Amino acid sequence: KNKGYIFDLDGVIVDTARFHFLAWKRTADELAFELTPELNEKLKGVSRVDSLNKILNWAGKSIPQDEFERLAKEKNEYYLSFVEQMTSADILPGIVEYIELLKANDCPVALGSASKNAPEILKKVGLFKEFDVIVDGNSVTKAKPDPEVFLVAAEELGVKKTNCVVFEDSEAGIEAANSAGMISVGLGDPEVLKDAKYVFADFTKIQDNLF
Ligand code: G6P
Ligand code: MG
């Protein structure tokens, strides 16, 4: 008890990580650069602007500001064309049950995401009302791996940061949770998420664990 639970969105609550990958891959194609799944791991959890900067860096390209803005806007529009099709079927396995478990135990629940599209996505899949606190890319300035998003969520939840549990699918997010002094729980590949305190394949494997 007295713990706070902070969820990343993309790749933790909903299966949108693959849409981000498809959209960034198309941007990379335009820059004649091949975005591999391995490099894509470095983009997970990273803000839109920082992601494009990384891709340009890997491609060894520098472009004018207006072109940068055009590519970022185009990526988001393509990404949103996938988001438009989303329903509750895009919620990842075990999430609904786990949030129910938290509610049944009076545990406060927050979203801690870098995405500016977070509220829209939560509404699309019918989970918006489940969150006591939403901190997203519209309300923070420093992107993961900076811990700001999780620290603000803890403060808004009124829970001590060392009593916060963070669920993350990205290297950058686990790093952010660890440097916030929080309990980091990775969802996905243990090799990618090696710095997490705990790693599970998905929420069906966490079951009734409140950490
Ligand atoms: C999440 C995703 C990233 C994405 C970022 C910004 O952290 O994991 O892939 O770049 O949000 O999302 P946005 O929807 O604002 O472009
Ligand atoms: Mg994520």
Contact 45 CB / ligand 1 (< 6 Å):
yes
Mean per-residue pLDDT, 16-34: 97
Q: Please state the separation of Cα 93 from the chain's center in Å.
A: 16
pLDDT digits (tens, 9 = 90+) for 163-191: 999 999 999 999 999 999 999 999 999 99
Predicted pLDDT of residue 1: 59
Contact criterion met (CB below 8 Å) for 113 and 8 = yes
Among 14, 20, 79, residue to substitute to test ligand 1 (most atoms within 8 Å of Cβ): 20
* Alpha carbon nearest to ligand 1 atom 11, residue: 115
Distance of alpha carbon 7 from alpha carbon 61, whole angstroms: 34
Mean per-residue pLDDT, 84-95: 97
Higher pLDDT, 143 or 80: 80
Predicted pLDDT of residue 2: 87
Percentage of residues in the chain having pLDDT higher than 70: 100
Q: Place 162 in a pLDDT band, splitting at 50, 70 and 90.
A: very high
Active site residue 10: yes
Question: Residue 169 annotated as binding?
Answer: yes
Distance of alpha carbon 64 from alpha carbon 118, whole angstroms: 28
Q: How many CB atoms lie within 10 A of CB 190?
A: 12
Percentage of residues in the chain having pLDDT higher than 90: 98
pLDDT digits (tens, 9 = 90+) for 58-88: 999 999 999 999 999 999 999 999 999 999 9
Distance of alpha carbon 68 from alpha carbon 11, whole angstroms: 26
Q: What is the DSSP track for the chain?
A: ---EEEE-SBTTTBS-HHHHHHHHHHHHHHTT----HHHHHTTTT--HHHHHHHHHHHHT----HHHHHHHHHHHHHHHHHHHTT--GGGBPTTHHHHHHHHHHTT--EEEE---TTHHHHHHHHT-GGG-SEEE-TTT-SSPTTSSHHHHHHHHHHT--GGGEEEEESSHHHHHHHHHTT-EEEEES-TTTTTTSSEEESSGGGTTT---
Active site residue 8: yes
Å from CA of 129 to ligand 2 middle: 20
Q: Is the pLDDT of residue 36 over 90?
A: yes
Distance of alpha carbon 141 from alpha carbon 16, whole angstroms: 22
Q: What is the mean pLDDT of the chain?
A: 96
Mean per-residue pLDDT, 113-118: 97
For the ranges 22-26, 44-48, 180-184, the lowest mean pLDDT is seen at 44-48
pTM of the model: 0.95
Contact 153 CB / ligand 1 (< 6 Å):
no
* Alpha carbon nearest to ligand 1 atom 3, residue: 45
- Which value does ipTM take for this structure? 0.98
Contact criterion met (CB below 8 Å) for 165 and 4 = yes
Q: Is the pLDDT of residue 193 over 80?
A: yes
Contact 47 CB / ligand 1 (< 6 Å):
yes
Residues lying with their CB under 5 A of ligand 2, a single-atom ion:
8, 10-11, 45, 169-170
- Ligand closest to 170 (CA) is 2
Contact 48 CB / ligand 1 (< 6 Å):
yes
